[in-house]
Structure 1
Amino acid sequence: MAEHTDAAASRAGGGAVPERAPPADVVAGAQVRPGDPGHAAYPLSEGEYWLAAHAGEPYWDPSRSFADYSTAYELGWVSYHLYGGEFDTAERVLANEWLVRKGISQLSWEQARPAARASWQRAESAKFVTDGTAAAEDVRATLEGLFESARDAQLGFREAAAHAGSPELVALFEELARQCDAAAVQWQGRIEQLGGTVAEGGTVAGAAQRVWLQIRGLFGGASNATLLAECERGADEVVDRLRGALQRNLPADLHAAVQREYQQSQRQHDHLRRLRDQAAAAAPGEREQPA
């Protein structure tokens, strides 16, 4: 994958109701562009996935049609298979290619970037496969780590909501806390299916060495920009924990559940980062508190 990333760098110098299904070419995009290798083909199933899912994405603008976003999803998927590595490393290439590939889309690259990143991340998460050979004790330990991570994040977002300086951020942090609670409940159910238990009231007592407890200590009197920056840092921990779980050869059904949470958590993290950048730009004189 490193050589793909280098190739990108070398070229860089230059829940609503889904809308009625568009024509197949809008869903699928071009399967392979001239010059793209066969393995970079954009699967029809991905176009169908995004047609069903795009209206629930945090970046979606209800005034836009799916056709505005479909090419960005294609670009993200194809580009991951061309370059690999990190989206941020290849972004300048993608921004240039967007001008060529966007077709009928009315989005600027700034507006299309979140959709391209989301599709890139789906392609990246698909590389994690499992043979289901993890021992039972390893499965349980992995689930306990996921439960702890989700519960800590829930507590962190709840506290962020209590200190947020705008109704919009309060609503955002409360929704993120709700999503983390749902994840924690899911992992708790899996643990109990394996005959295990979790401590009543979550993992607060065991959280002293984890990142969210430190972050929550910074919230009192913090600005919105600082709250967003610290919540993004905490969301990194959740993503890292899920990424690690995807490499544990979990049973296939559990692996698929982790994959879904991984993609959602990546999207949460990216949304927080966009809001953080906007808040920092709106208050350029403000300095973030040290981590």
Structure 2
Amino acid sequence: MAKAEERELNLDPITHEMGAHPVGTGLGATGGAMAGAAIGGVGGPVGAAVGLIAGAAIGGLGGKAVAEAVRPTVEHAYWRDRYAEEPYYQVGRRYDDYGPAYEYGWTSWGLYPGSFERVESDLGLHWDAWRGGSPLTWPEARPAARAAWERASLAYGPVGEPLARENINADDVVRVLNSLLETSRDGEMGFRDVAEHTVTPSLQSMFRARAQECAASAAELQQQVDRFGGSVAQGGTTLGALHRGWVAVRGSLGGLSDLAMLAECERGEEAALARYSHALQQALPQDVRVMVVRQWQGVQRHHDMVRRLREQERERNV
């Protein structure tokens, strides 16, 4: 069988049976290797080396159940399209520089339980062995690895939790979607408000672009509500309306500086992140979850951008 066909079928590298997922097999081998090295280490360097090889062979399929849903080709395609827009991107870098860091992130998510922060020091220690031809140091690779870890965590579910758990019913899916729809409308109207009240052209352009992104998210969510046979929520949230009203009144009177407007936008995006995080705790159908993760990442990316701009503006005003 051709190599390309083998990769497509995810054949077991040992038995050649179908279903051995490349990420699962890799992370299982890594975990087995680490355990084997620890056990073999009792016998000194040679024992550690033997344990490393044996552990990798025995553990080769140990991660299969954890990462069966992770598709490396899908993940690479996702990040290849977006890496240059990420806040940590360094001008002149290629995807090949960041690719190993992304792969390190989503693979490590399947290997280690808990949060990224909990195992970050361990990941840093092993980066040189993983990086291959990437010229990135760990401080440079860390944000990309974390982004891939977080995407895997949200898209495929917490480590150790069955990926095949029963999905919530259609009515509950509609409630989750409508909650996010209201949040997206809050963002659209809020960013249009601040775009009207700032006199800084670059901020106006950014706020208007974000308003359009929120509108696109709302349209996508509305299509999903229709698909699940629900009634589409009208308007935004009460909290969002109050928030926008405060911006409109103060901004129309010249009461908001760029710094204050950026702070308001940051608070708005933090509220949106909280709603998206809550939504992703639900057992959503996989295709809905993928959409929500994508939108969540857009909110996170813009939140981080606004925070950097706010910090820069604050430094200028000191």
Same fold (TM over 0.5): yes
Give distance in 2, aligned partners of 1:77 and 1:95: 15
Note closer, same or farther for the CA distance 1:208–1:119 as it changes in structure 2 (3 Å cut): closer
Q: Does 1:283 find its partner at 2:313?
A: no
Secondary structure at the counterpart of residue 283 of structure 1: helix
Confirm or deny that 1:196 pairs with 2:231. Answer: yes
Q: Select which of 62, 70, 83 maps to 1:54.
A: 83
Trace 1:1-291 onto structure 2 (pairs within 5 A).
Answer: 31=26, 35=34, 39=63, 44-45=72-73, 46-57=75-86, 59-81=88-110, 84-87=113-116, 104-107=133-136, 111-125=140-154, 126-127=156-157, 129=163, 131=165, 133-164=167-198, 166-193=200-227, 194-199=229-234, 202-203=235-236, 206-208=237-239, 212-213=243-244, 216=247, 221-280=255-314, 282-283=315-316, 285=318
**Kept in 2: contact 1:235–1:265 (CA 8 A):** yes
**Structure 1 residues 252 and 93, CA gap change in structure 2 (3 angstroms):** closer
TM-score (norm 1): 0.67
| Distance apart, 1:140 and its partner CA | 2.3
> What SS does structure 2 have at the residue aligned with 1:134?
coil
Residues 249-283 of structure 1 show CA distances to partners (whole Å, capped at 9, x for unaligned) of 33343233223222332333333333334444x33
Asked if the contact 1:131/1:251 (under 8 Å) is kept, the reply is no
The one of the two structures with greater contact order (alpha-carbon pairs below 8 A, sep at least 6) is 1
Residue 117 of structure 1 deviates from its aligned partner by: 2.9
Tell me how far 1:244 sits from its aligned partner.
1.9
Look up the SS of the partner of 2:216 in the other structure.
Answer: helix
Distance in 1 between residues matched to 2:191 and 2:99, nearest whole Å: 32
- Give, in whole Å, the separation in 2 of the partners of 1:59 and 1:265: 16
Aligned residue type for 1:213:
R
Give the Cα separation in 1 of the matches to 2:258 and 2:117. 25
Structure 2: which 5+ residue stretches go unaligned?
A: 1-22, 36-58
How many residues get paired? 252
Q: Distance in 1 between matches of 2:126 and 2:246?
A: 38
The answer to whether the Cα contact below 8 Å between 1:130 and 1:252 also exists between their aligned partners in 2 is no
Summarize deviations over 1:43-92 as a string: whole Å, max 9, x none. Answer: 64333442344245454445211122123323433444455545456656
CA distance in 1 between counterparts of 2:97 and 2:224 reads: 39
Letter of the 1:248 partner, please give it: Q
For residue 180 of structure 1, report the CA deviation from its aligned partner. 0.7
Q: Secondary structure at the match of 1:249?
A: coil
Q: Structure 1 or 2: larger helix share?
A: 2
Q: 1:118 to 1:169 in 2, by over 3 A?
A: farther
Listed as ranges, the gaps of 5+ residues in structure 1 are: 1-27, 286-291
Which has more radius of gyration? 2
Q: Which amino acid aligns with 2:301?
A: R
Q: Distance in 1 between matches of 2:138 and 2:85?
A: 20
2-side partners of 1:138 and 1:244: how far apart? 13
Q: Conserved in 1, the CA contact under 8 Å of 2:106 and 2:152?
A: yes
Q: Is the 8 A contact 1:165 1:223 kept in 2?
A: no
* Cα 1:88–1:133 shift into 2, 3 Å: closer
**One-letter identity of the residue aligned with 2:102:** Y
Please report the TM-score for the alignment, with normalisation by the length of structure 2: 0.62
**Distance in 2 (alpha carbons) for counterparts of 1:153 and 1:242:** 13
CA distance in 2, matches of 1:69, 1:273: 24
Is residue 74–residue 116 contact of structure 1 (8 Å, CA) maintained in 2? Answer: yes
Deviation at 1:177, TM superposition (A): 1.1
How many Å apart are 1:154 and its aligned residue?
Answer: 1.2
Shift in alpha-carbon separation, 1:235–1:51, aligned structure 2, 3 A: same
Whether the aligned pair in 1 keeps the contact of 2:116 and 2:146 (CA below 8 Å) is: yes
Letter in 2 for 1:122: R
The alignment yields a C-alpha RMSD, in angstroms, of 3.8
Quick check: 144-153 or 187-196, which moved more? 187-196
| Alpha-carbon distance in 2 for matches of 1:256, 1:120 | 15
